[in-house]
């Protein structure tokens, strides 16, 4: 929750992933709950839609879904719209999205550092398994300004260039390129998630798995952005990263809480009922996000920023079906 007091920014791959973690990631490969067309010949079986015999699941239709996936038989019988879900296909595209707003640059351990490391781990897995890997960083500050270290000026500036992206990486050789890209971006500024989502959707190429790392604390709401992204054929995985301080605030006394992004203030006198109320609100917020994600066929994972990266990637994402 609080601004990280002193942080050492990663500069290269070794800062993001240790060799031990890399060794643990090596046997993993990407998976998708959905079947996509491959762009290139890959190592996977092709299971194109319509030809697939392995039916996976049904889910309720929501606005924006591809009408071609509606199971008309069911509609005929039940008069309700359901989508048919199918199994994976061969050539998988992995798109990792990071939220680099100022609110991510908080917590102990730092949430953004955690996101960087997770993105690197997933990118590594995707690259070594010959998948196409893209990485997008949604930042509130101008990329050039961030490069010059003018964070304070940039934070107050309007988000001129909401996203920075690195696309079409493939193969183990591009691992260091990915690491450099991830390390180069400094977090800060106010992020308009909706605008960023639109930019991502516009610049999208092909389909695949999109994993968004964020705390999803957006003042203008996360719903629009997610709706935009979900409508474009991506298998969306949301990873909500919360710092331990956000879950259990270690603060007391009479405080004027200042939002790190928009300098909004809230005057509070910390008391047991207030903390209880805060935690109830946080739980409700997370639950609402979860329900939203479920209705949109997205997967949501809420993690603490002090979770070990290899444990998250190798265990929790694997259990979710993102990796195998």
Partner 1 sequence: MTFLAWPLAVAVGAVAVPALIILYLLKLRRRDLEISTTLLWKKAVQDLQANAPLQKLRRNIMLFIQLLVLAALLFALAEPVMKSSSFSGQRHVILIDRSASMASLDSPPNAATPGARLAQAKKEAIALVDSLREPGLFAKAANATGDEAMVIAFDNAADVRQNFTSDKQKLREAIEGITQSDAGTSMSEAMRLAKAHAPKRLHVDNDGSTQVIEGLSGGPEIQIHLFSDGRIPDSDQAKPSHEDKFQFHSIGSRSSGNLGVVSVRAQRQYDAPKKLNIFVGLQNSDTVDRTVDVELTVEGAVAAIKAVTLPAATTPNAQVPPSGANTGAATPAVANSGSPSADTEPPLVLNPGVGGVVFSIEREDALLAEIRLRPPTGSAGDLDAFSTDDRAYVEAPPAKRLRVGVVSSGSLFLSSALAGLPLAELRNIPAAEYKAMTQKGETPPFDVLILDGVLPPLNNMSNAAGLPPGRFLILGSVPASTAKDGPPAPLTDKGKSGNATIVDWQRTHPALRSLTLDSVFIAEGRDVEVRPGSTAVTIARTERGPAIIELSSGPTRAIIVPFDIGASSWPLDVSFVVFLASALDYLGGDAIAGANDATQIGATVSERLPVGAADVRLLPPPGVEDVSESVLSPLPDGTVVFGPVRRAGVYRLTWKGAAAPGDIQESGRTIRRIPVNLLDPQESVIGTTRSVELANTVVNASAESTFQGDQRLWPWLLLACAGLLMIEWFIYNRKVHI
What mask of x and - would describe binding to partner 1 in positions 76 to 115, judged by CB under 8 A? --------------------------xxx-xx---x----
The nearer residue to partner 1, 3 or 227, going by C-beta atoms, is 3
The nearer residue to partner 1, 1 or 229, going by C-beta atoms, is 1
Q: How many CA atoms lie within 13 A of 234 on its CB side?
A: 27
Q: Is 259 in the site for partner 1 (CB under 8 A)?
A: yes
Q: Is 257 in the site for partner 1 (CB under 8 A)?
A: yes
Residue of 215, 235, 297, 310 interacting with partner 1 (CB under 8 A): 215
Q: Rounded to the nearest 5 degrees, what angle is found at the Cα of 211, between the Cα atoms of 205 and 217?
A: 120
Binders in 110-169 for partner 1, by CB under 8 A: 111
The nearer residue to partner 1, 33 or 194, going by C-beta atoms, is 194
How far lies 169's CA from each of 26, 39, 94, 133, 310, in Å?
Answer: 18, 14, 10, 5, 22
The nearer residue to partner 1, 89 or 99, going by C-beta atoms, is 99
Q: Is 246 in the site for partner 1 (CB under 8 A)?
A: yes
Q: Is 254 in the site for partner 1 (CB under 8 A)?
A: yes
Residue of 66, 264, 291, 315 interacting with partner 1 (CB under 8 A): 264
Residue of 158, 219, 319, 324 interacting with partner 1 (CB under 8 A): 219
Q: What radius of gyration do the chain's Cα atoms show?
A: 20
Instruction: Show the tokens assigned to 162.
Output: 């909401």
The nearer residue to partner 1, 82 or 112, going by C-beta atoms, is 112
Tell which residue, 163, 164, 169, has the closest CA to residue 123: 169
DSSP string, 85-103: EE---SS-EEEEEEEESGG
How far is Cα 199 from Cα 311, in angstroms, rounded to an integer?
Answer: 32
How far is Cα 178 from Cα 127, in angstroms, rounded to an integer?
Answer: 9
Residue of 70, 130, 153, 270 interacting with partner 1 (CB under 8 A): 270
Query: Minimum CB separation from partner 1 for residue 140, in Å?
Result: 13
Residue with tokens 């061969």: 90
| Residue 99 near residue 138 (C-beta atoms within 8 A) | yes
Residues that bind partner 1 (CB under 8 A): 1-3, 102-104, 106-107, 111, 215, 217, 219, 243, 246, 250-261, 264-275, 277-278, 281-282, 285
């Amino acid at each position: 929750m609080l601004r990280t007091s002193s942080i050492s920014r990663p500069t290269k791959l070794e800062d993001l992933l240790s060799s031990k973690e890399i060794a643990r990631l090596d046997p993993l490969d990407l998976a998708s709950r959905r079947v996509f067309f491959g762009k290139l010949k890959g190592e996977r079986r092709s299971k194109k839609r319509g030809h697939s015999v392995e039916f996976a699941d049904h889910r309720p239709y929501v606005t924006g879904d591809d009408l071609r996936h509606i199971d008309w038989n069911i509609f005929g019988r039940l008069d309700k719209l359901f989508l048919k879900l199918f199994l994976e296909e061969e050539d998988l595209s992995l798109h990792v999205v990071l939220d680099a707003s100022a609110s991510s640059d908080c917590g102990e351990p730092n949430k953004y550092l955690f996101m960087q490391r997770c993105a690197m781990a997933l990118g590594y897995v995707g690259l070594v398994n010959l998948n196409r890997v893209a990485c997008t960083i949604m930042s509130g500050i101008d990329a050039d300004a961030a490069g010059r270290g003018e964070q304070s000026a940039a934070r107050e500036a309007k988000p001129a260039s909401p996203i920075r992206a690195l696309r079409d990486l493939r193969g183990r050789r591009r691992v260091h390129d990915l690491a450099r890209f991830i390390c180069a971006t400094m977090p800060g500024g106010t992020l308009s998630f909706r605008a960023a989502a639109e930019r991502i959707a516009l610049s999208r190429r092909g389909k695949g798995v999109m994993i968004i790392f964020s705390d999803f604390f957006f003042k203008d709401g996360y719903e629009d952005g997610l709706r935009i992204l979900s409508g474009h054929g991506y298998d969306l995985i949301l990873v909500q990263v919360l710092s331990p301080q956000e879950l259990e605030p270690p603060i007391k006394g009479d405080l004027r809480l200042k939002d790190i992004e928009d300098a909004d203030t809230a005057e509070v006198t910390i008391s047991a009922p207030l903390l209880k109320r805060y935690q109830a609100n946080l739980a409700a917020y997370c639950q609402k996000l979860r329900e939203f994600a479920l209705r949109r066929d997205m997967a949501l994972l809420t993690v603490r920023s002090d979770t070990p990266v290899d444990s998250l990637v190798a265990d929790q994402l694997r259990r979710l079906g993102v990796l195998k």
